[in-house]
Amino acid sequence: MRKLIVGSRRSQLALTQSQQFIDRLKEVDPTLDIEIKEIVTKGDQIVDRQLSKVGGKGLFVKEIQNELFSRDIDMAIHSLKDVPSELPEGL
């Protein structure tokens, strides 16, 4: 069976939420081989300015979406509050 790669932000909250999701998937199918790929986003890198003045929504998702588009990950886990209301074509 092929390994599933789940993209997640590197924050402790994001990793905890991702692991909870994976745990639920494994309850359905314990044979799944799933790995979390930690991804640093632009929002994670900006520590000296208010995020709302840099671009607001989407700062925590673009790099993860790019990993999906390039097929480096199979699925992404986001906090809905970070996701823009309009998704890019293909998602």
Q: What is the pLDDT of residue 72?
A: 96
Q: What is the pLDDT of residue 85?
A: 62
CB 14 within 8 A of CB 82: no
pTM above 0.85, yes or no: no
Strand-by-strand arrangement of the 75-76 sheet: 34-39, 4-9, 75-76
Burial class from Cβ neighbours inside 10 Å (0-12, 13-18, 19+) for residue 43 reads: buried
The answer to whether residue 82 is catalytic is: yes
Q: Which residues contact 35 (CB under 8 A, 6 or more apart)?
A: 3, 4, 5, 6
pLDDT tens sequence across 18-32: 999 999 999 999 999
Q: What is the pLDDT of residue 12?
A: 93
Q: What is the DSSP letter of 9?
A: E
Active-site entry in 23, 44, 48, 82: 82
Domains of the chain by start residue, with CATH: 4-82 (3.40.190.10)
Mean pLDDT by 10 residues, the chain (91 residues): 90 94 95 95 70 66 89 87 66 64
